[in-house]
């Protein structure tokens, strides 16, 4: 738990976020981020497609509190849609309401989202609306309800650590859903804190949607969960066209390739852009075992330097606060 708290604190550090934007790719961030621009991202997606793997593309963004920043993010996502359409790659979009202005004004955010979903609908491209922390959960689902009433090319995310996730998955079973464990630090008042409880609910949600819902995206790097789902779908005669496995770009690449070769639908979550630091630290907080995967399989000395710099900055920051007290 302490390691999760460290990474969550790092993910929310705006000074480190700016530092990472400036120096991150010199320190090896390209192992977990598919480029800083659309051209690099499209090349990464084409490489995945060549191995039978689809992509869900995330134009990364954090700490959006100005309308100009949200409009810039909207325009960038529209450019991503144009690139996917132009290159005819097997990819769709994942986006966060806060990046498009939810913390600024609800109607402003809705206008930005509507523009994106409408354009994607014209191109027959799916949009997945990510869910964030609990404070944004209710307005995010209100946005989703409004959009889903008009457009069919939109789905969303259910986070297993929330107590209300069982109710939510029943409410939204007619929609395409990505089911994940959850990556934010949440209060015991709204979310389970123990891994065992979260894991158990995660499996229950997946099984429910596989049996009763629409298309299911299973977001996990946990081979125990994956093996369980393989057996579950076989036992219940669930066709492979009803679900896909999802993992993050740069994590467990061999397993991603193996699952695709086995004939399972597989989709890699492909983040790109300079604003990648908070995303990366939340992935480590979500499942600290990811740090082992990265260290063993992917990270070079430069990327380890990035982690060391971040951790040192965190420790020094804490020491500085104690001295002031």
pLDDT score recorded for residue 314: 46
Which candidate in 130, 176, 275, 282 is catalytic? 130
Say whether pLDDT at 220 is over 60: yes
Cα radius of gyration (the chain): 19
Report the 10 Å Cβ neighbour count for 325.
4
Q: What is the pLDDT of residues 38-54, one digit of tens each?
A: 999 999 999 999 999 99
For residues 61 and 94, is the Cβ–Cβ distance under 8 A?
no
Which CATH number is 174's domain given?
A: 3.20.20.220
**322 annotated active-site:** no
Q: Is residue 59 part of a domain?
A: yes
Domain count across the chain: 1
Q: Is residue 298 part of a domain?
A: no
Would you state the torsion angle of the CA atoms of residues 101, 104, 107, 112, taken in this order, to the nearest 10 degrees? -20
For 78-87, 165-174, 220-229, 294-303, which range has the lowest pLDDT when averaged over its residues?
294-303
For residues 49 and 89, is the Cβ–Cβ distance under 8 A?
yes
| Overall pTM > 0.85 | no
Q: Is residue 248 part of a domain?
A: yes
Which candidate in 178, 282, 283, 287 is catalytic? 178
Q: Which strand (E) or helix (H) includes residue 249?
A: none
184: confidence class by pLDDT, cuts 50, 70, 90: confident
Q: Is residue 290 part of a domain?
A: no
**105 annotated active-site:** no
Q: Is residue 5 part of a domain?
A: no
Q: What is the pLDDT of residues 258-285, one digit of tens each?
A: 999 999 999 999 999 877 766 766 666 6
Q: Is residue 142 part of a domain?
A: yes
For 72-86, 201-215, 281-295, which range has the lowest pLDDT when averaged over its residues?
281-295
Residues 216-248 as b or e (16 or more Cβ within 10 Å = b): bbbbbbeeebbeebeeebeeeebeeeebbbbbb
Q: Is residue 118 part of a domain?
A: yes
Say whether pLDDT at 175 is over 50: yes
* CA neighbor of 5 nearest in space, from 180, 185, 156: 185
Q: Is residue 304 part of a domain?
A: no
Owner of token pair 């397993």: 255
For residues 50 and 44, is the Cβ–Cβ distance under 8 A?
no
Range of the domain at 89: 33-275
């Amino acid at each position: 738990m302490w390691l999760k708290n460290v990474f969550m604190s790092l993910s929310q550090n705006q000074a480190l976020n700016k530092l990472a934007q400036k120096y991150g790719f010199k320190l090896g961030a390209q192992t977990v981020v598919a480029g800083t621009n659309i051209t690099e991202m499209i090349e990464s997606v084409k490489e995945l497609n060549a191995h039978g793997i689809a992509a869900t593309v995330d134009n990364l963004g954090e700490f959006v509190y100005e309308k100009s920043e949200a409009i810039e993010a909207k325009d960038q996502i529209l450019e991503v849609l144009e690139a996917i359409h132009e290159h005819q790659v097997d990819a769709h979009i994942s986006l966060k309401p806060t990046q498009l202005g939810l913390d600024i004004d609800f109607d402003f955010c809705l206008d930005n989202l509507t523009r994106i979903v409408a354009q994607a609908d014209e191109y027959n491209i799916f949009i997945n609306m990510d869910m964030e922390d609990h404070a944004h959960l209710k307005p995010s689902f209100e946005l989703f309800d409004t959009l889903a009433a008009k457009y069919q090319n939109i789905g969303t995310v259910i986070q297993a650590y929330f107590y209300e996730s069982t109710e939510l998955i029943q409410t939204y079973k007619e929609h395409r859903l990505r089911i994940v464990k959850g990556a934010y630090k949440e209060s015991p008042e709204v979310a389970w804190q123990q891994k065992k409880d979260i894991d158990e609910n995660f499996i229950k949600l997946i099984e429910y949607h596989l049996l009763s819902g629409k298309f299911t995206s299973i977001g996990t790097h946990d081979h125990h969960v994956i093996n369980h789902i393989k057996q579950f779908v076989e036992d219940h005669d669930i066709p492979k066209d009803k679900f896909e496995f999802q993992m993050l770009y740069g994590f467990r690449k061999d397993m991603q390739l193996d699952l695709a070769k086995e004939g399972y639908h597989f989709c890699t979550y492909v983040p790109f852009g300079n604003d990648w630091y908070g995303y990366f630290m939340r992935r480590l907080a979500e499942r600290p075992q990811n740090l082992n995967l990265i260290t063993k399989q992917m990270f070079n000395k430069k990327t380890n330097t990035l982690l060391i710099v971040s951790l040192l900055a965190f420790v020094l920051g804490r020491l500085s606060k104690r001295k002031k007290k």
